[in-house]
Structure 1
Amino acid sequence: MKAIVLEKAGGPENLHLAEVQKPNIKKNEVLVAVKAISLNPADVKPKYNDEMLGMMYGKERPVILGWDIAGTVSEVGAEVSDFKLGDKVFGMVNFPGVGKAYAEFVAAPEAHLAKMPDHTSFEEAAATTLAALTALQILSGKINKGDKVLIQAGSGGVGHFAIQIAKSFGAYVITTASAKNKDFVLSIGADEAIDYRTQNFEDVLSDIDFVLDTQGGKVFTNSVKVVKENGHVFTTTGPDFPKEAQDIAKANKVNLSSMLVKSDSDDMNTLKGMLESGAIKPNIYKTFAFEAMADAHREVEKGRTVGKVIVSV
């Protein structure tokens, strides 16, 4: 089969098309004939650093990157009960771990997939994976109807799902975005949009119940300043919180948390239901051909993506 491989750490130019062996599946896995792949910063950043590649992918080379797929089931393991040949499926495969998604075929645990909703394209399904799971797993069970929720970087992959999910939970949603993306974030459910280039959100907001942060650093620290007592700031950037943020949180009795998303079929089925009901809709920013994976990486690296970058196989 064809796959996009990375022989050694480096830029997008190090990604190249190669013939590799089709994976064998375990009893609890299905083999997915991949039709679409979704890209994330978590795909793009590690490729530059040998140490990070080793931590995430081990010593095996070449590396096949990626986790987010949609496609059809072409082979079924002996212990698989939820899927059959020909089923259209989507999911985030083996995260954290090695998903090997940049390939024509991917071996995926049954417990990481869901059936695609009717009337959803492979590209839309692939988009509704890591970023959507991150937003869902952070927000689910943590916000109540009427809560004031701040979503940082609302036009991004995680952010645009978080706006929609928080709104579906009945929250009052505020987000940060550039002026050119204001209409977009308002159209998907944000009640207020703050232009981060002309306004400091920490100067105009207060009494926030919950913040979902994807930026870290100063944005995370300033987020703590606007949260009410017993409120919560949740970040995707890891548990090493800035000292200033910790001091402010302690003084104001604000809770700080971080989370690493995990593959989960129950959550994938929740997203399936949200797609079916219209509670969420992925925004596909650009689509690239499989052979143009390097260009897709370059697009993500610009940091200006509105929604998701997709690769069609």
Structure 2
Amino acid sequence: MAGPAPGTTAIPSTMKAWLWNTTSGGLEKNIYRSDTAKRPGQTLQSNQVLVKVISMSLNPADYKVPEMGFIYKCVVSTPASPGMDFCGSVAAVGPGVTNVKVGQLVFGCLVLPLQHGSLAEYIVTPGDVIVPIPDGVEVDHAATVGIAGQTALQVIQNKVGEGDHVFINGGSGGVGIYAIQIAKALGCQVTATCSTRNVELLKSLGADEVLDYTTVDVVQHLRKQGPLFSLCLDMIGEPDELYRESHNFLLPNKLFAQVGNGSHLATAARLITPKIFGGGQRPYQLVFFKNRYEDLKIIGDWMQQGKVKAVLDSVYEFDDAVQAYEKLKSHRARGKIVVHVSAKPV
């Protein structure tokens, strides 16, 4: 591991972190703060980077995957820290890392399963999947890009072109907010759904049509428009008949992409129900993101250019991490929830 840069202090062997040993009853009921947690990356491999976390943002997978219980604990040692998205400063680099240097501000995300998540003072990440924060981009904003931004980009990019129509079901969550802006950056027309309180937010992000699902029958509205859309991105899995009716609003052979769905049984039913028995008649895909340097860089550059912006629901200090996860699990956040971990270097 490369040593600290000239003029900096030595890297401690322990750190502050929020840890869990069990998730029984919910992650937020079990995480506890430690100021003497063992720091990861005591010895770095050639391609690894030690990052001191400044801010991290929360994702549903932060708790949903650990709450799988025994299955997850079979592959992850405890105590473990939750969290995947991060921004921070490079504390040390392995000998094979050339794209970032000590002291540089970077952002990215970690991939599950993991023991050392970003709700901790230090993390270790492969050097080829972290990106320098562009000038002018706030660290809290960069911390929100990792999972949500990449998921939105990967499900939209190369599937639509300028002038195509995109339907986004659930536009006020983390992925939806990025998806609206990315689709607009690619020249698409966007229709998105949300509740009443978020209508103006989605319009401000560039959505051409916003459907308030509390007052509009979304499926009926889409049916009336006919096969118009080149992509449907479903964040919430409701209404239940949305995929079954998708041939009425999706153009032939165009994709129905599912990002969020609270019911695994419902998802399975959509995949296995034959068309002749009322199943969907358009291609169906469950979306899983891939961690890619080039995708993080695209979004970072768009943020610098003002084409894409982060929307923060709330910002919590490190001591208030439990409340941050409680807010996430309330399903009432619009945009991303950020937790400050360490002070930004002067």
**Is TM-score (shorter-chain normalized) higher than 0.5?**
yes
- Which residue of the other structure, out of 222, 232, 242, is the alignment partner of 2:255? 232
Aligned pairs for 1:191-230 within 5 A: 191-205=208-222, 206-207=226-227, 208-216=229-237, 218=240, 220-221=242-243, 224-225=246-247, 226-230=249-253
Q: Amino acid of the residue matched to residue 53 of structure 1?
A: Y
CA distance in 2, matches of 1:164, 1:246: 35
| Offset at residue 253 of structure 1 (A) | 4.8
Q: Amino acid of the residue matched to residue 235 of structure 2?
A: T
CA distance in 1, matches of 2:276, 2:296: 36
| Offset at residue 248 of structure 1 (A) | 7.6
Q: Amino acid of the residue matched to residue 339 of structure 2?
A: V
Q: Amino acid of the residue matched to residue 83 of structure 2?
A: G
SS at match of 1:269: helix
- Which residue of the other structure, out of 191, 196, 200, is the alignment partner of 1:183? 200
Residues 290 and 47 from structure 1, CA distance in 2 versus in 1: closer, same or farther, beyond 3 angstroms?
A: same
Q: CA offsets per residue over residues 134-170 of structure 1, 9 Å max, x none?
A: 0011111101111110011101100000000001111
| Offset at residue 53 of structure 1 (A) | 3.0
Residues 278 and 143 from structure 1, CA distance in 2 versus in 1: closer, same or farther, beyond 3 angstroms?
A: same
Cα RMSD over matched residues? 2.1
Structure 2 segments unaligned to the other structure (5+ residues): 1-14, 342-346
| Offset at residue 48 of structure 1 (A) | 3.3
CA distance in 2, matches of 1:249, 1:300: 37
Partner of 1:27: 46
Residues 251 and 106 from structure 1, CA distance in 2 versus in 1: closer, same or farther, beyond 3 angstroms?
A: closer
CA distance in 1, matches of 2:277, 2:209: 25
Contact 2:271 2:284 in 1 (8 A): no
Structure 1 segments unaligned to the other structure (5+ residues): none
Runs of 4+ in 1 over 4 A off after TM superposition: 243-246, 248-253
Partner of 1:41: 60
| Offset at residue 235 of structure 1 (A) | 1.1
1:97 pairs with 2:116? no
Contact 2:19 2:81 in 1 (8 A): yes
Q: Amino acid of the residue matched to residue 32 of structure 1?
A: V
| Offset at residue 54 of structure 1 (A) | 3.0
Contact 2:23 2:29 in 1 (8 A): no
CA distance in 2, matches of 1:156, 1:106: 26
SS at match of 2:268: coil
Contact 1:223 1:233 in 2 (8 A): no
Aligned length: 310
Q: CA offsets per residue over residues 232-283 of structure 1, 9 Å max, x none?
A: 1111248735258752899875221122112111111111111111111010
TM-score by length of 1: 0.93
